[in-house]
């Protein structure tokens, strides 16, 4: 099959593109390199440097589907520059859907996010939980989910939105290199590499066992497998929404301790005040993904996730 991967020069898109190639599919990556890297595009994929808002230039009926990762995804930035998030995430996705309609490409897998839920009322969080995003980033992703639902109903699109919780780890040559980095595991690894003096722990008085926030970390390779399953599970006229997480939370302090064990570095930490909008616990119920996609994550072990991310972090430092 032939797939367009938007955002395939970024972290998650590059890993999924590589999995598609390994499964024997033909892949074209469309990426404007705003946060991605040319080196992130897997060797076997065709590459188009361009914007999703111009997707109509490259989409044609020879494509069997689209995997849509391209987005702006910094929660903090979205609070101070919301217009960028409405323009890129909502405007960009609207243009992509129009191009798909025009080219009669009728299958879509979309990267949604746990940020669509906001502060949870129950944990683990099911897909039926209220969606009350606390940032423009989460709101923009939720708007795209609504857009996709109506596209499926009105025009027969076969669509799956995957709501990722915290993606982590690496897959061989493909891993996380956001700049600025905002995710905990790569930030702690930067301390291990001597690129940062200490890790800040935002709040240690949450109602959790050690007082620090608890998050659900999912290995990027497990996440990639869910995308391949979603392509076959998508049904015309239906929009399936699935959370992707391990259902197991780890606290900020547990992550730091695991990085100490994996890297052998002492990792100094500094306790800072809580950040606004950080829920105490964010853990997914992934029962829908297991049931509807037949998904079975196999890399839930935090030490293994950290070890893969550590290997990747060292490899890109050697490159530079
Ligand atoms: N990484 C996570 O933990 C996480 C969690 C939840 C959801 N997500 C979602 O997953 C997707 C991928 O995240 P990531 O961490 O790989 O981010 P990333 O920034 O590494 O990748 C995004 C890619 O999209 C490209 N891009 C952005 N706007 C574009 C545009 N208008 N046209 C073409 N290309 C464009 C960027 O250059 C980049 O290569 C995003 O949609 C994000 O919202 C990620």
114 Cα nearest atom in ligand 1: 6
51 Cα nearest atom in ligand 1: 32
pLDDT tens-digit map of 254-299: 999 999 999 999 999 999 999 877 889 999 999 999 999 999 999 9
CB of residue 162 inside a 6 A radius of ligand 1: no
So what's the pLDDT on residue 119? 87
Average pLDDT value for residue range 70-81: 94
CB of residue 111 inside a 6 A radius of ligand 1: yes
- The residue whose C-alpha atom lies closest to atom 11 belonging to ligand 1 is 69
So what's the pLDDT on residue 319? 64
So what's the pLDDT on residue 320? 56
Percent of the chain with pLDDT over 70: 99
- The residue whose C-alpha atom lies closest to atom 12 belonging to ligand 1 is 69
Average pLDDT value for residue range 187-191: 97
- Which of 143-152, 217-226, 268-277, 303-312 is the least confident region? 268-277
So what's the pLDDT on residue 184? 95
pLDDT tens-digit map of 203-241: 999 999 999 999 999 999 999 999 999 999 999 999 999
Write down the pTM of the prediction: 0.97
Question: Known catalytic residue: 137?
Answer: yes
Average pLDDT value for residue range 169-181: 92
pLDDT tens-digit map of 157-172: 999 999 999 999 999 9
So what's the pLDDT on residue 278? 86
Q: At what angle do helices 136-155 and 92-103 cross, to 10 degrees?
A: 20
Average pLDDT value for residue range 2-16: 98
pLDDT tens-digit map of 96-141: 999 999 999 999 999 999 999 998 999 999 999 999 999 999 999 9
168-182 CB burial, b ≥16 within 10 A, e <16: bbbbeebbbbeeeee
Per the residue annotation, which of 137, 171, 174, 206 is the catalytic one? 137
Percent of the chain with pLDDT over 90: 93
| Token digits of residue 112 | 């949604």
Could you report how far apart the first and last alpha carbons of the chain are, in Å? 36
So what's the pLDDT on residue 247? 87
CA distance 253 to 271: 11
State the distance from the centre of ligand 1 to the C-alpha of 246, rounded, in angstroms.
Answer: 21
CA distance 140 to 173: 30
Mean of pLDDT over the chain: 96
**159 within 8 A of 292, measured Cβ to Cβ:** no
pLDDT tens-digit map of 85-94: 999 999 999 9
- The residue whose C-alpha atom lies closest to atom 23 belonging to ligand 1 is 7
Res 311 pLDDT > 80? yes
CA distance 279 to 176: 24
């Amino acid at each position: 099959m032939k797939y367009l991967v938007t955002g395939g020069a970024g972290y998650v898109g590059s890993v999924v593109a590589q999995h598609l190639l390994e499964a024997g599919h033909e892949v074209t990556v469309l990426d404007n390199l705003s946060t991605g890297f040319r080196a992130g595009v897997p060797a076997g994929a065709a590459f188009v440097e361009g914007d999703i808002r111009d997707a109509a230039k490259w989409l044609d009926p020879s494509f069997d589907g689209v995997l849509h990762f391209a987005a702006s995804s910094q929660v903090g930035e979205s609070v101070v520059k919301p217009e960028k998030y409405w323009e890129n995430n909502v405007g960009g996705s609207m243009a992509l859907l129009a191009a798909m309609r025009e080219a009669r490409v009728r299958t879509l897998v979309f990267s949604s996010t746990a940020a669509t839920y906001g502060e949870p009322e129950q944990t683990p969080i099911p897909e039926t939980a209220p969606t009350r995003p606390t940032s423009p980033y989460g709101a923009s992703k939720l708007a795209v989910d609504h857009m996709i639902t109506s596209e499926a109903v009105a025009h027969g699109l076969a669509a799956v939105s995957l709501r990722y919780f915290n993606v982590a780890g690496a897959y061989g040559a493909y891993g996380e290199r956001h700049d600025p980095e905002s995710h905990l595991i790569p930030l702690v690894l930067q301390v291990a590499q001597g690129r940062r003096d200490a890790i800040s722990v935002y709040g240690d008085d949450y109602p959790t066992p050690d007082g620090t926030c608890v998050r659900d970390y999912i290995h990027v390779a497990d996440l990639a497998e869910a995308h391949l399953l979603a392509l076959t599970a998508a049904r015309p006229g239906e929009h399936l929404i699935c959370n992707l997480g391990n259902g197991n939370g780890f606290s900020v302090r547990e992550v730091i301790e695991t990085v100490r064990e994996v890297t052998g570095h002492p990792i100094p930490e500094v306790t800072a005040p809580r950040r606004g909008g950080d829920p105490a616990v964010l853990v997914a119920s992934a029962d829908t993904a297991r049931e509807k996609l037949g998904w079975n994550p196999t890399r839930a072990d935090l030490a293994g996730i950290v070890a893969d991310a550590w290997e990747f972090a060292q490899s890109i430092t050697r490159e530079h």
